[in-house]
Amino acid sequence: MNAVDQLSRKADFPGLVTAQGAPWHYLDTAASAQKPRAVIDAMARALGTDYATVHRGVYGRSAQMTLGYEAARRRVADFIGGSENEVVFVRGATEAINLVAFSWGGANLGPGDRIVLSTLEHHSNIVPWQMIAARTGVEIDVCPLTDDHRIDLDALERLLTKRTRMVALAHVSNVLGSVLDARRAADLAHSVGAKLLLDGCQAAPRMALDMAALDCDFYAFSAHKLYGPTGIGVLWARETLLDEMPPWQGGGAMIEQVSFARTTYAPPPQRFEAGTPMITEAIALHAAIDYVAGMGPDRLFAHECALARQLRSELQRINAVRLFGPEDSAGIVSFAIEGVHPHDLGTILDEEDVAIRAGHHCAQPLMSALGVPATARASFGLYSDEGDIAALLRGIERTQRIFG
């Protein structure tokens, strides 16, 4: 048994079988990860025997659930190398980036200021900045990619000016699997007084994180890509920045005192968590982090990178296949087959119980830069193994026979 096989934990994931009980080869983890039984059970308990609201009740179960909810915040902070008062629970990375754009951006950006994004960004790290630009008059610069489809940090250095206020980049590309040299990006941004936001959706499930080592200012990720539930995500931000940022939603829980004359707000992170929070989702996220941490993020990164290298090697043998992204992609492989639309490939693969993603992957500017309307994307998780690659290759061979 080789190193790749040793890590596969398919038995822990009830979603990895078909209705008929056959193996389901799930290669769409970059979109959303399957959930281990430990997470499902934790959420079921939180929804059932343990359920109560948090922060308000004086009865025992509410107090216990409050302890569990805040323990989840501390667990997130420990997992990413931050402090619990720097962790804001949001609905997902999309909401986290919108929060930064409209709260920090609304208070700090104005005409003549500049934001830098990159060609490979997910729409969630483009559209919020376009919306705040329309309100504030800020300009957006776009950093190009290198020949092997990484964010070109030499080009970033040339783009930066004293008017640059924000640099917002993907830590790992959701299409290409390319890994950003985040510390260098932080150093470059800070050299002109700009802040750095990292979209960590694809990094958080795949690699060890340390906010101090990365030296970024904001970090966003979603739980559902980290083997946790949908409906909850994390914004980490430096405490000094959160202290200065105004709330962007109003309601219960985020207040200190309310009167019709004026309202004062709670300190961060509560200031940014209006309304009843994601109680059960936070408990399940805690369980997901425990599961991933127990296996070791460094080990997961090596496992998924090994699978990506193996798949790229196999696809390079097929003349009709065009590969995108660097050779050392982080568990994500995007490709196109000459004469076969990615949607057709995805449909045929589904008949073979293989699930991939086909389309523009919420990265239409990147598709334009690559010169394709869409790609096929295989993305690995901690449960993936060589059998999934073999099933994918069989499906591709069948597709090529069908299309001649």
Active site residues: 362
Neighbours of 250 (CB within 10 A): 12
DSSP line for 220-271: EEEGGGGTS-SS-EEEEE-HHHHHHPPPSS-SSSSEEEE-SS-EEEPPTTGG
Q: Which amino acid is at 75?
A: R
Cis peptide before 269, with omega less than 30 degrees from 0? yes
Distance (Å, whole) CA 129 – CA 134: 9
Helix 279-295 × helix 297-315 angle, to 10°:
80
The residue among 167, 43, 185 whose CA lies nearest residue 116 is 167
Distance (Å, whole) CA 53 – CA 279: 7
Cβ contact 65:50 at 8 Å:
yes
Cβ within 8 Å of residue 239, ≥6 positions away: 83, 85, 86, 268
β-pair partners for 335: 323, 376
The residue among 398, 354, 353 whose CA lies nearest residue 376 is 354
For tokens 């190009």, name the residue: 144
Distance (Å, whole) CA 53 – CA 367: 44
b/e 197-223 (16+ beta carbons within 10 angstroms → b): bbbbbbbbbbbbbebeebbbbbbbbbb
Distance (Å, whole) CA 273 – CA 275: 6
